[in-house]
Amino acid sequence: MTAGLDRLRGGTPPKRHNARTIAALTGNPGCTRRAVLDAAGVDKPRLAQRIGFPGSFGQSRFALARGNGFEAMLKADDCALLREVLAGCLRLDVSGAYDDLGEDADDTLAARHGRTRELLAEAAGAALIDHPLLTLDVAGQRVFLEPDLIAFQAEGRLHVVEIKSFAIVDGQADSAKVSAAAVQAAVYALALRRLLAELGHDPALVSHDVVLVCTENFSLQPVAVVLDVRKQLSTLERQLTRLASVSSLAAELPEQVSFDVALPPADLIAALAHVEARYAPECLSTCELAVYCRHEAAGSTAALGRPVRDALGGVDTVAEALALAAGTATPSEEQAEAAALLQAAARLRAEIL
């Protein structure tokens, strides 16, 4: 991490990226604020709280307990149950060794990454590699990925295995949860591919078929399904290249800009004004700072959501849209068509109501 970005964070230790934050980042690639804050490892929940706009991103203990219980059940007895569902799903030999690279901790990062490289470098290494530590270049920054996956190696190919505790009922699951899991798995698959390429292997050895292990129907029995994440992979690669180089963005920021959560709230808000946000209602469920950005975006058409903004002719503010509808503002050339439609709509509403 560059000194410039470290300076932005102040004295606190950096927050690390994980597949979820990268997925969110690529979900809204135009948001400079998020890119800079994440790259600098700023504690966004703390920051939001400091400036008086706390988000609600708590997770229920019950959900965590079930997730952990399910994972532990799968990995018990040298992954007996996990091997069983993988064998049933992929029709591959799963009798190889299981290697757990250890729990998530800051001081073992480098060691774990080194061990991951070693294991992956040997073509005939362990079959199941738990908690491998991967890296990914995001917006000019090399980030460690918080490991929450198993890489399954068989016949020279690697599969990403994601364990999720949501249920697949009669072959159907909550589509939002499945697509979130698919994007996360794609982040891991991409990181694995980059690592293999660095090691001089063919990145295509990492399969685009990831395995999702969920619970079946209303029981805790596991069921594995294969997800093709080619689409997510290509989206991810495109978005990652589109992310502007954060280092250069950070370098352009004035000297006094800092997101050190120890600073008074007024200073933090002033600092935030230097990095532009691109708020959309979807941010509310993915970004801890969203409540503040929504407050800031009050009166903009973007705050009403993309479909509304588009239907209002893509103008920036609600006031502008209403002025066009009332005919009190002169539309620019490209607004002419939208303005005519808005005026007709306003006329109809006035006529009927």
Partner 1 sequence: MSTLTALARAQAVVAGRAQPIATVRHLHVHPRPLVLIPLAMAGEANAPLAAMAGTDRSAPRLLVVAQPRNRSHRFAFAAELAELLVPYVDSFTAETEAVAVDRGRDVRHRFTDAPQLWVPNTGGVDFLRLFGRSTRFRSTEGEYAVPPSVPLLGRWLTFFANAAEVAGSSLLLNAVQALGLHWASGQSSAEDAQLAALLGWISPPPGRTGAEAALMAEDPQLFPPAGPATDPVFDNHVLAPLMSTADPDVAALTEVLHAQLLPTWELMWRTLDLLRELPPGARVAGRWDSDRDTYSGFVQHLAEGGPPQPRRDGAVAAAARLHRLENAATRYAVQRAFDDPLVMAEYRLTGAAFVGDVTLAKADRIDDSGKRPVLRPRIMVVTTETVRVEPGATLSSPQRPGQKALVISVTAVDEKTEVLLELSGGMGRKLVAEPGSVPEVGERLLLTTLSEAYRPGGAFPEPDRTPWTHGGPPVAFEPSEAGSEQADQQ
Contact set with partner 1 (CB under 8 A): 56, 58-67, 165-167, 169-171, 215-221, 281-282, 284-285, 298-299, 301, 303-305, 307-308, 310-312, 318-319, 321-322, 325, 341-342, 344-346, 348-349, 352-353
As measured in angstroms, the least distance from the Cβ of 271 to partner 1 is 24
Nearer to partner 1 (CB atom), residue 152 or residue 166: 166
Q: CB 2 → partner 1: shortest distance, Å?
A: 36
- Neighbouring CB atoms inside 10 A of 314's CB total 13
Residue number, 99 or 320, with CB nearest to partner 1: 320
Distance of CA 314 to the CA centre of its chain: 27
CB of 302 within 8 A of CB of 322? Answer: no
- Of residues 245 and 285, the one with the C-beta less far from partner 1: 285
Nearer to partner 1, 60 or 95 (CB): 60
Q: Determine the Cα–Cα distance for residues 30 and 276; give it in Å rounded to an integer.
A: 9
State the minimum distance, in angstroms, from the CB of residue 289 to partner 1.
16
The least CB distance from residue 84 to partner 1, in Å, is 13
- Residue 51 Cβ, how far from partner 1 at the closest point, in Å? 16
* CB contact at 8 A, 184 and 175: no
Nearer to partner 1, 97 or 344 (CB): 344
Between helices 230-242 and 175-198, what is the axis angle to 10°?
70
In whole angstroms, how close is the CB of 148 to partner 1 at the nearest point?
A: 16
How far apart, in Å, are the Cα atoms of 13 and each of 102, 183, 260, 303, 340? 21, 27, 10, 33, 54
Smaller CB separation from partner 1, 97 or 345: 345
Locate the DSSP E strands across the chain: 98-100, 128-130, 134-138, 141-145, 150-154, 157-168, 209-216, 222-228
Taking phi over 0 as left and psi of -120 to 50 as alpha, with beta for the rest, 239 belongs to alpha
